[in-house]
Chains A and B, each alone.
Chain A
Amino acid sequence: MITLSLGSPREFSMRSRLLLFVLLALLGIPSSADAQVDTFQFDTEEQQQRFRHLSDILRCPMCQNTNLTGSTGGVAEDLRREIHRMIMEGLSDADIEQFMFDRYGDFIFYRPRLTAETLLLWFGPLIFLFIGGIVAYGIVRRATPMSDAGVPLDKSQQERLEKLLENKR
């Protein structure tokens, strides 16, 4: 922790508040100020939740490392408006995701759909883990007999061993 010569208790609380703010900023914990979303009217809480969820999981095609919730890009603004419209028209989340997919493809999803094309993306790491496991298993299995007993000693070795044990006594 940071130690500084501290002034009055009031100053301390200012400081810790500032510190907290800096830490949160560094951690990238989103505060409500990041969201670009709160200008839409919904009939129900559930609709609003769905809107939040969809804008969180969909990626802005222009500013590629933000979701629709966080993006100030023009196209993100338009897409949020479209999501709002479709929710109000009673379309399901699956319909809305399909709408986005038809226009922007897998890129629009942070979590790509499971299709033939994305199969390697989804299971590639598992395949590598599996290969690594096999290799590790092979190495361990081959290494074991070397360190283990069970290799019979020949006659001279046996005699030497007994002599050594004798001496010990």
Chain B
Amino acid sequence: MSRLKYFVPVIVFLGLAVVLWRGLYLDPKELPSMLIDKPMPEFALTTVDDESVSNADLPDQIFLLNIWGSYCLPCLIEHPTLMRLSEEGEIPVVGVNYRDRKDLAQDWLVDNGNPFSFSILDESGRFGIDLGVYGAPETYLVDANGVIRFRHVSVLDETVWQEEFVPAIAELRAGSGQ
């Protein structure tokens, strides 16, 4: 026992080293969202196509809320994935056109294709603040009751879809029988 205490500093060191080593591989850009398990913030805005939208217009099933902008290059990288998900009917995708200009947003959708059921126009970024957005692209997973369940920051490609969203959705479905 008395011998053992000489190893205490080594054990403490190893413990600390493991914690800090893991810390090296955390992405400091991925902040935890404060809105997990909270309802979507209330909104009454217009879409990119000038139609008024509010919470009542959101899909009443599990859907993705994707924050995008025509200026956003990573959005182009994830765009094919969003197109596939939407075209194959895997999950509805609602857009939030964040800090953009309406005409540029419309052009972008024409040029690249429109995967969104509709895109909420948030030129001022005010709605983004309520969501805790800090830059496009970000993607939220919202359940059938309009409660935010998961957020992914930056590009949502096929790998991220398979590894993060598919399990999260499966868990939601298992939990609620949807």
The residues of A with any CB-CB pair to B shorter than 8 Å are 61-62, 64, 73-75, 77-79, 82, 101-105, 107
Q: Is the interface of B mostly helix, strand, loop or mixed?
A: loop
Question: Is the Cβ of A64 less than 8 Å from the Cβ of B135?
Answer: no
Q: Which of A64, A73, A78, A102 contacts B128 (CB 8 A)?
A: A78
Give A85's nearest chain B residue, CB to CB: B126
A117–B130 Cα distance when bound, in Å, is 23
Q: Which of A64, A77, A104 contacts B132 (CB 8 A)?
A: A104
Interface hits, B126-168 → A, CB 8 Å: 126, 128-135
Asked if B32 is an interface residue, CB under 8 A from chain A, the answer is yes
Interface hits, B33-72 → A, CB 8 Å: 33-35
The residues of B with any CB-CB pair to A shorter than 8 Å are 28-29, 31-35, 99, 124-126, 128-135
Question: Is the Cβ of B126 less than 8 Å from the Cβ of A102?
Answer: no
A75–B130 Cα distance when bound, in Å, is 12
A64–B28 Cα distance when bound, in Å, is 9
Question: Is the Cβ of B29 less than 8 Å from the Cβ of A104?
Answer: no
Give A77's nearest chain B residue, CB to CB: B125
Instruction: Evaluate whether A104 and B34 lie within 8 angstroms (CB atoms) in the complex, with A62-B135, A75-B125 already known.
Output: yes
Cβ–Cβ < 8 Å partners of A62 in chain B = 134-135
Cβ–Cβ < 8 Å partners of B128 in chain A = 75, 78
Cβ–Cβ < 8 Å partners of A102 in chain B = 34
A91–B66 Cα distance when bound, in Å, is 32
Cβ–Cβ < 8 Å partners of A64 in chain B = 28-29
Question: Is the Cβ of A74 less than 8 Å from the Cβ of B135?
Answer: yes
Question: Is the Cβ of B133 less than 8 Å from the Cβ of A75?
Answer: yes
Q: Which of A75, A82, A101 contacts B134 (CB 8 A)?
A: A75
Residue of B32, B34, B99 contacting most chain A CB atoms (<10 Å): B34
Question: Is the Cβ of A103 less than 8 Å from the Cβ of B132?
Answer: yes
Question: Is the Cβ of B126 less than 8 Å from the Cβ of A78?
Answer: yes
Cβ–Cβ < 8 Å partners of A73 in chain B = 134-135
Question: Is the Cβ of B133 less than 8 Å from the Cβ of A105?
Answer: no
Question: Is the Cβ of B129 less than 8 Å from the Cβ of A79?
Answer: yes
